[in-house]
């Protein structure tokens, strides 16, 4: 894994931590919190798009294509963004994504 790839994985972790911080200030019914979380989800998707497929294939349980696709939807179709989908993503998918990214980082550090 290149240094650049490692930085992208770190960017994902930083965005996950920022999402947690935003949610400590309020919930997704607050428009400002929702917008901040949405921006971080866009960052996550952008970082995933920049990672090589062979690296992402090491964690096949994560739907990487959908993560990247959500970035496009959030960035370009923001008026159609469903609070329920963002809430489910944050509650269910982001923790799974974080675990997978930590595994990828650890596996490359051990190599």
pLDDT digits (tens, 9 = 90+) for 17-30: 999 999 999 999 99
To the query of whether residue 71 is one of the catalytic residues in this protein, the response is: yes
- pLDDT-derived band at 77 (thresholds 50, 70, 90) equals confident
Helix (H, G, I), strand (E, B) or coil at 11: helix
Distances (CA, A) of 82 to 26, 32, 77: 18, 15, 10
Query: Which one from 76, 83, 99, 106 is the annotated catalytic residue?
Result: 76
Q: Mean pLDDT score of the chain, rounded to an integer?
A: 91
To the query of whether residue 22 is one of the catalytic residues in this protein, the response is: no
pLDDT of residue 2: 66
Q: What is the model's pTM?
A: 0.90
* Cα radius of gyration (the chain): 14
């Amino acid at each position: 894994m290149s240094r650049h790839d490692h930085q992208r994985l770190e960017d994902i972790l930083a965005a996950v931590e920022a999402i947690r911080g935003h949610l400590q200030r309020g919930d997704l019914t607050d428009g400002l919190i929702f917008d901040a979380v949405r921006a971080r989800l866009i960052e996550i998707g952008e970082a995933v798009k920049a990672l090589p497929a062979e690296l992402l294939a090491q964690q096949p349980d994560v739907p990487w294509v959908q993560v990247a696709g959500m970035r496009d939807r959030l960035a370009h179709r923001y008026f159609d963004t469903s609070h329920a989908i963002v809430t489910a993503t944050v509650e269910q998918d982001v923790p799974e994504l974080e675990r997978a990214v930590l595994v990828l980082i650890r596996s490359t550090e051990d190599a």
